[in-house]
Amino acid sequence: MSAKSEKIPEHIAIIMDGNGRWAQKHGLPRLKGHEAGVATVRRVVRLCRDHGVKYVTLYAFSTENWLRPPTEIVGLMTLLKKFLIETEPEMHADQVRLRVIGQREKLEASVERELRRVEKATEKYDRNHLILALSYGGRAELVHAAQELAAKVARGEMKPEQIDEADISANLYAPDVPDPDLIIRTSGEMRLSNFLLWQASYSELYATPVLWPDFGEEDFRAALAAYAQRERRYGRVKSVTK
């Protein structure tokens, strides 16, 4: 059966929640939960590839996460660099393009250098796209778009009354990436937490109580099955056949 007939989403975005609770549940330090979460990232990226999902966006580090203890932030950034080193060969083998969205200027210099290196090394791939939301916030992204448009108005390139939704979309961090069809959130929470606020307008939402490190193939398939049952009308009334 083709991916189209199975209603496979083109773009899945994931709020990876529950690493800390997983570690607490197992009597481990929080960083061990994040390490387990990285293993799940690699597993889910492969599952997306195998099921024909072209784009996957992972909420890896939010603007609010900078408020966490410095030791945890350092540990997370170390894990990120390790993930890039270990995963890059798979990206080349599977022709996966790495992309980063967020306030990346706030990232530590060595982390930013490694991200840019892998982005450059994979920029010509188009089979699959792995988008990491790092130092990311949906409100900050909208502020960024507003600033870009305000600068264009100040330069006389456009008038305020000419700004429309397409202009805002065109000035987001990754304007060429389609809006997510499906947003998955693990650990049972029921909120977007400042993630892809503009792009999520008509995304299907799927929440599971499973903690992110425990999210496996069966859970992934359950999310796809739930998505396949949704009817996406985008505000239109369902057509009735006589």
**CA dist., res. 36 & res. 39, Å (int):** 5
Residues contacting 60, CB < 8 A, separation 6+: 16, 80, 132, 133, 134, 136
Phi, psi of 232 (to 5 degrees): -95, 105
- Contact present, 56 and 133 (Cβ < 8 Å): no
Q: How many CB atoms lie within 10 A of CB 34?
A: 22
- Among 228, 230, 233, residue whose Cα is nearest residue 1: 228
**CA dist., res. 165 & res. 28, Å (int):** 46
Q: Coil, strand, or helix at residue 52? A: coil
Q: Respond yes or no: is residue 194 known to be catalytic.
A: no
Residues contacting 225, CB < 8 A, separation 6+: none
**CA dist., res. 210 & res. 180, Å (int):** 21
**CA dist., res. 60 & res. 15, Å (int):** 8
Q: Respond yes or no: is residue 171 known to be catalytic.
A: no
One-letter amino acid at 221 equals R
Which of these is catalytic: 19, 65, 126, 128?
65
Active site residues: 17, 65
